[in-house]
């Protein structure tokens, strides 16, 4: 359904350092820089971070969350630990199992350096 997801940043260099480390835990290569944007290109889609083209400050989405798929609870934990070590802020409950209408999920939540809410998720066997 989606070709890509793009979020804003006020400091592209800091955002690249943060996401290179964070997405490295998901075996994603470091970003490709394209002027005022960076791109993480995978077989399943593209994640991008950009300085706003209108010159206004980047702001985070109120109510928005970007979710990254993980292969295991251990990968979720590593993602979370790496994100906190790189300057992200742990939010919500600690990483762990949540039961929802879609089954058991192992989740972790962070705010990135610009305040964007991001999540790592592993769908567990029921």
Q: What is the pLDDT of residue 109?
A: 97
Q: pLDDT tens digit string along 30-82?
A: 999 999 999 999 999 999 999 999 999 999 988 899 999 999 999 999 999 99
The whole model's pTM is what? 0.92
Query: Which tokens is 20 given?
Result: 């290179």
Question: What single-letter DSSP state applies at residue 43?
Answer: T
Query: Which tokens is 37 given?
Result: 């944007």
Give Cα separations from 97 to 59, 66, 79, 109, 126 (angstroms): 30, 18, 15, 12, 12
Query: Which tokens is 94 given?
Result: 């600690």
Instruction: Count other Cβ atoms within 10 Å, centred on residue 33.
Output: 12
- What domains are there in the chain, each with its CATH number? 4-52+63-123 (3.10.180.10)
């Amino acid at each position: 359904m989606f070709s890509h997801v793009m979020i804003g940043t006020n400091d592209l260099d800091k955002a690249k350092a943060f996401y290179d480390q964070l997405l490295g835990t998901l075996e994603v290569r470091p970003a490709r820089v394209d002027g005022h944007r960076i791109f993480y290109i995978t077989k399943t889609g593209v994640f991008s971070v950009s300085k706003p083209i209108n010159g206004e400050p980047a702001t985070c989405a109120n109510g928005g969350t970007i979710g990254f798929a993980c292969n295991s609870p251990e990968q979720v934990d590593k993602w979370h630990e790496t994100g906190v070590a790189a300057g992200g802020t742990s939010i919500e409950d600690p990483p762990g199992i949540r039961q929802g209408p879609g089954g058991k999920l192992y989740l972790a939540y962070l705010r990135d350096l610009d305040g964007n809410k991001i999540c790592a998720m592993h769908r567990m066997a029921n």
